[in-house]
Amino acid sequence: MNAPIILGKRRSSPLARRLAKEAGIELALVDGSGPQGRVVARDINEAMDRLARKQTSVGGASTLPRAVPSDADIRALYKEDDYELIAHDMMRKTIAR
């Protein structure tokens, strides 16, 4: 049995580490687009999309879920009158960043 190849540690956000672990993606193989080359959730989502496209182009159906749902996906779960859409203020935008 071959030993796994370890390519070194890669700086990453906690969310990116969790998403990569759930998707079975090796962080060392993902190029980071965050500050100082840090791997962020967007990078994991792109890696999952590339992997899904690669699997479907080979002929197999993709079984990988999208890691982070879009706002439209979340709004689709509720009836139009069940929620009020409020724009984020500057503090919320800063916290999200």
* One-character DSSP codes across 5-17: P------B-HHHH
21's CB contacts (< 8 A; 6+ apart) are: none
Q: How far, in Å, CA of 64 to CA of 22, rounded?
A: 10
pLDDT given for residue 42 in this prediction? 92
pLDDT given for residue 6 in this prediction? 41
pLDDT given for residue 65 in this prediction? 56
Mean pLDDT in order along the chain per 10 residues (97 residues): 48 89 86 88 90 72 60 84 84 84
- In order of their start, the domains of the chain are 14-96 (4.10.320.10)
pTM of the model: 0.49
